[in-house]
Chain A
Amino acid sequence: MYRAMARFNGSQHNEEIYIDAKNSIEWNGTHYNQKAFNWTSPIDGTVYGTLFNFHGDRMDARWEQPPYTKPPEHVVMFIKPQNTLNGHMQPISLPKDVDTVEVGAGLGVVIGQTMSCVSDAVALDYVSGYTIVNDVTVPHDSFYRPDIKNKVRDGFCPVGPWVMDRSAIENPNQLDMYVYVNEEQVYTNNMSNLDRPIEKLLADITEFMTLYPGDVIIVGRPLQAPLAKADNHVVIDIPGVGRLENTIIETATISTGGGRK
């Protein structure tokens, strides 16, 4: 049994749960099926994505375009703001103008202690645990600008199901990652294929920005992500961490509300 932190059933804070190898759950001494819970994101901090970090995640000639005429040498990052956070087994609602999304699967590295200018030799000591993130993204071509419209739709960042305690993960740079759409395996990779291993990524990021407890770094989000449409069931499986499951639905099937219109 491995210890994890999770949030469910309307709680405002994380609960300590225990997970066995089959992802079944013990909470307060009782065993539960995952469906017994109404899951929400276990994350309180800021979610930062990183891109182009798998070997071969290189763009075509567009990299060489003016004004900078060469590929980025430093970590390419983006932010998934709070309106995007979503939970395990919750629907991902497609906006009216979107019919296909990328399943931006990634390992979520959850920060446990404030990190500023931390070397790669000790960076993993600052991690509290690992989770799974789906950087749901509208496919887009406008790579040179932070085209946030394609990344920040409401609910476009499921995180979970839980944060697996780091003690359960012997080597995060060896984790496998699988993506399934409607039970079909559509993507697989392993964190050993990262250009910057996790500790190096954390060192490079904290050289210029502080990470706080609860912040999440998405690692291994592929450039060529699999696609999904309405009614698809999407699973991101990182054995040892968990399986994050969501179903994509049409907007019309949930209420929107708010605002005056």
Chain B
Amino acid sequence: MKHARVACYGAVHDAIEQKGQLKLADGRLVNYDDVVWLPPIHVRTMFVLGLNYADHASEISFNAPEEPLVFLKGPNAVVGHNAYTRRPKDATHMHYECELAVVIGRTARNVSRSDAYEYIAGYTIANDYTIRDYLENYYRPNLRVKNRDTLTPIGPWFVDAADISDPMNLTLRTYVNGELTQDGSTKDMVFDIPYLIEYLSSFMTLSPGDVILTGTPKGTVHVYEGDEVVTEIEGIGALKSTIVGDDAFARI
């Protein structure tokens, strides 16, 4: 089943997908265009993988790491489907990153790879926008690069784990203004999902609502004000965001 959180009729609703419409928890049917799409889950801790596809690592001149390269994001960065993402005026290297987001469903500690899928509640799509101009020489990628407001659209749907038979073989695609710019598969991850759950749960406790953004494949290109960016993952959906400038945020 595909779940969403949407705002309409003066309230925030849990909803499910039903025949191309949203069915709210109270039974009402609503068209996709008549709601504000919110992040489909309440994100607790958000983990993000850097350089987790070898082809993307080489694309930005790094070798794939020997141990997962993980950083964290705060809740400020997260927005839903159809939202605006701000591109600061001085940015020259801003790109999208289409990523499969894995949502933890059970408390997980010292979980082995072979059991890892039992701890997954489901999946959504994340776009881990990056502004590489702001990289600096410590704890890279630093929060100013990755944890800016509006830089992490997620959604539109949260899809139950049971509906995705093989999350390690899903096509990821990104379209900028309708043109295909990124085309990869989750099968090319350096560290696969079971490995990541084993790794993280080996040194900390994962809890329901924790989310792992599993990295992006090759094909990240610059985006500019006015661009419409759609990150799409097979079986999960298509997440749209629009790049806006400083003036939309009253920044001069």
Contact = CB atoms under 8 A, between A and B. Distances in A.
A184 interface: no
Nearest to A208: B148
Nearest to B209: A82
A215 B144 CA distance: 17
Given A83-B207, A210-B149, A258 B108 contact: yes
Interface in A42-85: 46, 48, 51-52, 59, 63, 65, 67-79, 81-84
B76 A146 contact: no
A143 B139 contact: yes
Interface in B165-217: 201, 203-207
A95 B109 contact: no
Interface in B60-92: 61, 69-77
Contacts of A10: none
B74 A209 contact: yes
Interface string B130-158: 00001111111111100111000000000
A143 to B, nearest CB: 6
Interface range on chain A: under 10, 10 to 19, 20 to 34, or 35 or more? 35 or more
The CB with the most chain A CB atoms within 10 A, among B69, B140, B144, is that of B144
Nearest to A59: B138
Contacts of A59: 138
Interface in A116-166: 116-117, 143-146, 148-149, 152-154
B138 A209 contact: no
B136 A46 contact: no
Contact of B149 (A73, A116, A145, A146): A116
Interface string B106-119: 01111110010000
A74 B136 contact: yes
Contacts of A52: 138
B137 A70 contact: yes
A260 B115 contact: yes
B72 A74 contact: no
Contacts of A78: 72, 139, 143
A134 to B, nearest CB: 17
B251 interface: yes
A107 interface: no
B144 A79 contact: no
A136 B12 CA distance: 38
Contacts of B251: 117
A4 interface: no
Contacts of B140: 144-146
A29 interface: no
B44 interface: yes
Contact of A48 (B74, B148, B201): B74
Nearest to A80: B72
Contact of B74 (A74, A79, A84, A143): A79
A41 B110 CA distance: 25
A152 B137 CA distance: 21
Contacts of A46: 74-75
B153 to A, nearest CB: 16
Contacts of A143: 138-139
B144 to A, nearest CB: 5
A65 B138 CA distance: 10
Interface of A: 46, 48, 51-52, 59, 63, 65, 67-79, 81-84, 95, 116-117, 143-146, 148-149, 152-154, 208-212, 215, 256-261
20 contacts: A51-B138, A51-B139, A67-B137, A72-B138, A76-B136, A78-B139, A78-B143, A83-B204, A146-B71, A152-B203, A153-B203, A209-B76, A209-B77, A209-B147, A209-B148, A256-B110, A257-B109, A258-B107, A258-B110, A259-B107
Interface of B: 44-45, 47, 50, 61, 69-77, 107-112, 115, 134-144, 147-149, 201, 203-207, 251
The 5 A-B residue pairs with the shortest CB-CB distance, nearest first, are A72-B136, A81-B45, A258-B109, A68-B137, A79-B72
